[in-house]
Amino acid sequence: MAYSVRDRSIGPPPMFRMTTGVKWLLISNVVVFVAYFFALNTAAEQLFLPFGLVPRSVLGHLEVWQLFTYLFIHSPYGFGHVLMNMLMLWMFGTPLEGVWGTRRFLQYYFFCGVGAGVCVVVLNLFAGSLNSRTIGASGAIYGLMLAFGILFPRAIIYFMMLFPIEARWFVLIMGAIVFLSTLRDSGGGVSHIAHLGGMLFGFIWLKMGLGYRPTGSRTNLWQNLRDSYHDWRLKRARRKFQVYLKKQGTSSRDWEDRVQ
């Protein structure tokens, strides 16, 4: 998947400048993957097993850190798993962090990821498969995809690099696929409940405006998202205007003096 920088309603998402939070998430995931890859079939492989998400370990042994650490563990038996997740992290995470800032972006990312892990534990508890092991950042990634579809609804995503589709429809389609896949989950190698859980917790965060409201404020999520985006667009427009003034041989102070 890829998306263009054109947005038919609110302008292009700021995707091309690598942001701090995304950069360190990428580095962390890749470093852990490489270490896990070279640890295969050695005694060191056992060091990585406790960091995957196993419901029995969380519920029976209170190893709650697994709800966090499983996000950094990817299958070492191939490169597709980590490559796809990191590509989507860059695609959807960079523009979101550009608008929200690093702290809020990371709060949202881990809220979705941990929430997805909680959904995995609960579902496996009822299904009686407490020894299943879940790894990967897909739950958090699907949360990012949901937020991208809300904040940049008309951004054009090129699905499979070929088919253009607006982000809002892409998110709806992917959400429907994940939901139906969860209902028909037959215990395959993909944790559809983690994907659905990431989107669900992302929606909860966004709907409630967690982490976005000033103290004592009752402003809802959608207003906060719009305000954040318009603040970013205002800053970008101001920079462009300053460049224009420099080309015209004047300064913003001179312009302000003339219009007052």
Whole-model pTM: value is 0.75
Least confident range of 128-142, 166-180, 239-253:
239-253
Least confident range of 31-35, 116-120, 129-133, 180-184:
180-184
Tens-digit pLDDT profile for residues 118-139: 999 999 898 888 898 999 999 9
Higher pLDDT, 89 or 10: 89
Tens-digit pLDDT profile for residues 72-85: 999 998 888 899 99
Least confident range of 25-39, 91-105, 149-163, 167-181:
149-163
At 1 the pLDDT is: 47
At 185 the pLDDT is: 61
pLDDT above 60 (res 16): no
Spell 236-255 as b/e; 16+ CB within 10 A means b.
Answer: eeeeeeeeeeeeeeeeeeee
Angstrom CA distances, 67 to 52, 77, 115, 195, 247, stand at 8, 22, 8, 14, 53
